[in-house]
Amino acid sequence: MQTDFAPGLLERPAFAASEKILRSCVHCGFCTATCPTFLLFNEENDSPRGRIYLIKDMLEKGRPADAETVKHVDRCLSCLSCMTTCPSGVNYMHLVDHARVHIEETYKRPVMDRLIREMLALVLPRPALFRLALQGARLFKPLAPLFPKRFAALFAMAPARLPAASPSSQPALYPARGARRMRVALMTGCAQTVLDPAINEATIRVLTRHGVEVVVVPGAGCCGALPHHMGHAKSAHGLAGANIRAFINERDAHGLDHIVINTSGCGTTVKDYGFMFRDDPALAEDAAAVAGLAKDVSEVLSLLDIKPAGTAPRLRVAYHSACSLQHGQKVTLAPMVLLGDAGFDVVAVPEGHICCGSAGTYNLLQPEIAGELQARKVANILKTVPDVIAAGNIGCIMQIGGGTKLPIVHSVQLLDWATGGPAPEALRG
């Protein structure tokens, strides 16, 4: 793709990086075949190729974002299916991230839209505040029809029951059972610690059971993905920077083999810290080091020769491959192989490359589109006639679970159960 950026713009690192990405696009349109929003709307501007043209026109002129561009960029899930399909290696993720920052810097959203986005960027990365917000949403749920329609998805998100806070989210050291094979830091995350802390508890159990020392590092918290994908660069970099310093301090003081991440949306962002901080002289080297240490929990468990203990029945498991795992991190087979080796009958979900509609805050900001994708995903899961659904991302678990009565759990909870841990709560009885 030819570009015509002003030389002054290309002196700015973000614009220079985007110009390079734009030049790698050859207009082939392969991306349209796997884009969820193009699948729904059959609208060019709701395809990656169409959005690339809109972003190019906006960035190369350095002009403020207009309402039409904002509409179609906002509709992008950042599922990154287009990057898996693209034969030219176009890094759409970095391009759309830059576009979102530019939109936030140059476009004034309607008041209600701005209010909701600011609230989500403030609340979701902070577990104590998020727990308080969910408790408030549960109390006010009967009054939801009195609130503006835009708040409907926020009320719908509030679960009927919140699990109790877990000590697993607090800084601690969990020794390996038997001979220590490796030492890892567990990123406990933000929303997951409130919505389903049992996932972190299962992760700690299965790792320590297989000779891994696990540390929950003081000072580490939200990875920054949620504000990052809303274009809130300053907030995202602040959260990411705190993680980088916390993990590097732990590495330097006690050594780390890996940083284990069991929320794949977070994993995709942490693995990109090197790019995010490439122009920060104070953090660039450490950010790249943290990105290199980051591993999805399935990648680490694949190194450990997991053996079933015969404690779980041979359930039929429909494995949902989160977009951030299969497209963002290119981790595709490991979770299914682990579940199969643990004694489960694992089946892939038809149209497995199509997003479920969660996509971070997407199901809150674009609830109608997210609802259509949720229904499509659930229908495909039901075709496999499973006993249980497994996924590797809390967002997907909440989104899919909201559309079906079938139990849905994190893959690591099944692996913990199969190797001697307790049955996940969703499967008890």
- The domain spanning residue 68 has which CATH number? 1.10.1060.10
Q: Could you tell me the residue range of the domain that residue 223 belongs to? A: 167-301
Is 147 within the bounds of a domain?
A: yes
Report yes or no on 127 lying in a domain.
Answer: yes
Element (H, E) at 172: strand 172-174
Which region among 83-87, 137-141, 375-379 has the lowest average model confidence (pLDDT)? 137-141
- In a domain, residue 309? The reply is no
The last residue of a domain, from among 157, 189, 222: 157
Cα separation, 207 vs 178, whole angstroms: 12
What percent of the chain is modeled with pLDDT above 70? 99
Instruction: Specify the pTM.
Output: 0.94
Looking at the structure, do residues 236 and 261 belong to the same domain, yes or no? yes
Residue 42 confidence (pLDDT) above 90: yes
Which CATH number is 242's domain given? 3.40.50
Q: How much is the CA Rg of the chain, to the nearest whole Å?
A: 21
Looking at the fold, whether 291 and 369 belong to one and the same domain comes out as: no
Same domain? 172 vs 290 = yes
pLDDT confidence of residue 7: 86
Residues 188 and 145 in one domain: no
**397 found inside a domain:** yes
Whether residue 83 is found in the same domain as residue 199? no
SS3 10: helix
Instruction: Say yes or no: 378 and 401 in one domain.
Output: yes
Q: Read off the tokens for 24.
A: 């790698």
Q: What is the pLDDT of residue 402?
A: 93
pLDDT higher than threshold 80 for residue 156: no
Is 147 a residue whose pLDDT tops 80?
A: no
Write the DSSP string, 303-338. TS-----S-S---EEEEE--HIIIIIS---SHHHHH
Helix residue ranges, H only, 229-326: 233-254, 264-270, 273-276, 284-293, 297-301, 323
Residue 2 counted as domain residue: no
- Confidence band (pLDDT; 50, 70, 90) for 405? very high
- Do 173 and 289 share a domain, yes or no? yes
Q: Which residues pair with 102 in a beta bridge?
A: none
- The mean predicted confidence, pLDDT, of the chain is 94
Helix (H/G/I), strand (E/B), else coil: 182: strand
Other Cβ atoms less than 10 A from the Cβ of 36: the count is 28
Find the mean pLDDT for residues 169-192. 96
Q: Residue 311 domain-assigned?
A: no
Q: What is the pLDDT of residue 14?
A: 95
CATH number at residue 384: 3.40.50.1860
Q: What is the average pLDDT across 68-93? A: 97
Q: Give the pLDDT confidence score for residue 157 in this predicted structure.
A: 73
pLDDT band at 429 (very low <50, low <70, confident <90, very high): low
Residues of the chain with pLDDT > 90, as a percent, come to: 90
Q: Tell me what pLDDT residue 161 has.
A: 84
Same domain, 274 and 176: yes
Q: What's the CA gap between 269 and 292, in Å, rounded?
A: 12
Mean pLDDT value across residues 389-412: 97
The identity of residue 299, as a single letter, is E
- Both 179 and 272 in one domain: the answer is yes
- The per-residue pLDDT for 158 is 77
1 part of a folded domain:
no
Answer whether residue 6 shows pLDDT above 90: no
**Counted domains in the chain:** 4
Query: Is residue 396 included in any domain, yes or no?
Result: yes
223 and 333 assigned to the same domain: no
Residue 146 shares a structural domain with residue 218: no
For the chain, helix, strand, coil in percent to 5 are: 55, 10, 35
Q: Say whether both 24 and 68 belong to one domain.
A: yes
The domain boundary residue, chosen from 266, 301, 336: 301
Q: How far is CA 66 from the centre of its chain?
A: 28
Domain end, chosen from 270, 301, 332, is at: 301
The pLDDT confidence band at residue 38, using thresholds 50, 70 and 90, is very high
